[in-house]
Chains A and B, each alone.
Chain A
Amino acid sequence: MGLIVNLDVMMAKRKISLNELSAKVDITIANLSILKTGKAKAIRFSTLEAICKTLECQPGDILEYREDG
């Protein structure tokens, strides 16, 4: 399975919508959507830092690794 992005889980815990998160971290809704749906190829540290700062969480809360199979 590889890397799983749990952004939607954290957003639900913090009760924040995609629009609000997009405005606070200064990332477009399209890019956040790409990240949320797991289609992203890579994430910049600056982006991860901004998301973690806004959602008051750790990178491990957003990103999770699961073995294939």
Chain B
Amino acid sequence: MKTIKNSFNFFDLIFKSSDPKKYKDSLTAFSRIFSVAAIVFAATILFKAFNISDAKHFQLPILKVDILPLYGDKFIHFVVLVGYELIKFFVLTFLFWFFAKFLKSIDMTSPFKNEKSVPLINMVANLSLIFFAVDALSCIHIYYVAGEMLKLGSFRLFNFEYLFIAYFVNVFAMIYKNGIELKQDNDLVV
């Protein structure tokens, strides 16, 4: 209950100035909830995927959108489509989960104090490198679904937003590690 309540505070705190500790708790809670929701969603899609041969429709949970038209008559289209979305979900899930652990490990009044936060942010940065592969996969994904997307009145050329996430996370990790080093040096200035 506290996690859910803290996550709702997150949206409230974005638009108002706030106590850094409350902001951190809310962001951590939001990250955890997203991770769990992503796992549940991905598990549902996986479960439906295994039962696809018996199903006339393949409806996404909650959204009730039938994605079977994208399946066409080629099973490989379906594998690429579902596989790409699942990989994206799992990578984002792990990224959010470890980012939540990193946020929990830092003290917002003195964020560069705890050296034990460095391995966690390193893990987040290394995980984000997987997004380079995700964006490469997206090119294959777009190739398979482009025809069906045009029939549905939609079109997309490329997905480079995950590349941007990877760059941003790596830059953040680099800045944070430099911050830790500077703090340690500063502590030894008399």
Contact = CB atoms under 8 A, between A and B. Distances in A.
Interface of A: 27, 31-32, 34-35, 39-44, 47
22 contacts: A27-B190, A31-B190, A32-B190, A34-B188, A34-B190, A35-B190, A39-B188, A40-B188, A40-B189, A40-B190, A41-B185, A41-B188, A41-B189, A42-B185, A42-B188, A42-B189, A42-B190, A43-B189, A43-B190, A44-B189, A44-B190, A47-B190
A32 B185 CA distance: 16
A41 B185 CA distance: 6
Nearest to A51: B190
A40 B186 CA distance: 9
A28 B188 CA distance: 12
Contacts of A40: 188-190
- Per CB-CB distance, the 9 closest pairs between chain A and chain B, nearest first, are A41-B188, A31-B190, A42-B189, A35-B190, A41-B185, A40-B190, A43-B190, A40-B188, A47-B190
A23 to B, nearest CB: 16
Contacts of B190: 27, 31-32, 34-35, 40, 42-44, 47
Could you say which interface size class chain B belongs to? under 10
Interface in B158-190: 185, 188-190
B179 to A, nearest CB: 16
A47 B189 CA distance: 10
Contacts of B185: 41-42
A60 to B, nearest CB: 18
Query: Which of A27, A31, A32, A41 gathers most chain B CB within 10 Å?
Result: A41
A39 B185 CA distance: 10
A47 B39 CA distance: 56
A43 B185 CA distance: 11
Nearest to B188: A41
Residue in B188, B189, B190 with the greatest tally of chain A CB atoms within 10 Å: B190
B161 to A, nearest CB: 41
A43 B189 CA distance: 6
Nearest to B185: A41
Contacts of B189: 40-44
A18 to B, nearest CB: 13
